[in-house]
Amino acid sequence: MQPRICLVDDDEWICDSLTALFGSRNLRLSTYRDPAQFLASWQDSNLRELPAALIIDIRMPGISGIELFAQMRQHGLPAHNPVLFLTGHGDIPMAVEMIKAGAYDFLEKPFSDNSLVDRVLQALEYAKTMYREEPPQAGSELEALTLREREIAERVVVGRTNAQIAGELFISVRTVEVHRANLFRKLNIRTAVELVPLVAAAGVPPARRGDSV
C-alpha cells in the first residue's frame, strides 16, 4: 500500500513547485488550495482510513492551518495521518504548540528541497508504522507516548544529546526539545535517569552509549 502525501496551501506557486519536487522523486502529491475543501474530502473519502502524510500551511485565508488541525482532531485525526506544518519564522511558537497538541513536525520557510522531502518520507514511514502497529501491551508506562516520542526516549536513555537525536531522526533540535519536554510531562518525570527503568520495562534494551540506535 502506497501512503498518500497531501498538501493544503492556498499559494498556487507552492503547490506547483512542491508537486514538481515530489514528482522528481517519483512521489505523488495531492494539493488542496481550499482548506474547507480538503476537510470535506478528508471526512468523506477513505483518506483518513489509510496512511498519509499531511502538509498544512499555518496561514491561510478562511480556515487557518491551526483551525483546520483543530477540526480534524475533533473528528478523530488518526495517528496514521501525521501532520507537518509549513511555517514562517513568526509562526514557530504556534507550530510548537501544535506539536504539543499532537502534530508530527513543522517545516520552517524557507526550506531546502532535500530536507523537506526527507522529513516527509520519514512522516510516511511513521504513518505506515502507526497503521499496522498493534496496540501497546497493557501496563506499559510508555503507552501514552507517540511513536516519535518513544524514538526520542530510547535515545535519551543512552545519552544522546538533543543535537545528536535531531541528526539521527532528520528533525530540528527545536522539535526534539518539544517532544522531549512533552514525553517527560506525560511520564511525570524530570530527568533522563528516571526514564531509564520505564524504557527498560517496556522491553527496549538500553544500548551502550557508543552504539547507534
**Residue pLDDT, tens place only, 166-176:** 999 989 999 99
Q: How many domains does the chain have?
A: 2
**What's residue 109's pLDDT?**
81
User: Does 51 sit behind a cis peptide bond, omega within 30 degrees of 0 on the bond before it?
Assistant: no
Alpha carbons 184 and 192: distance in angstroms, whole number: 9
Give the pLDDT of residue 133.
Answer: 60
Confidence at residue 208, expressed as pLDDT on a 0 to 100 scale: 38
* Cα pseudo-dihedral 200, 202, 204, 210, rounded to 10: -40
Query: What is the pLDDT, as a whole number, of residue 141?
Result: 65
Which of the 8 DSSP states describes residue 92?
Answer: H
Judgement on whether residues 67 and 171 belong to the same structural domain of the protein: no
Same domain, 89 and 183: no
Q: Give the chain's residues under pLDDT 50.
A: 134-139, 205-213
Of the residues 101, 132, 163, which one is the last residue of a structural domain?
Answer: 132
> 39 is written with which cell numbers?
476537510
Beta bridge partners of 152: none
Domain region containing 178? 147-201
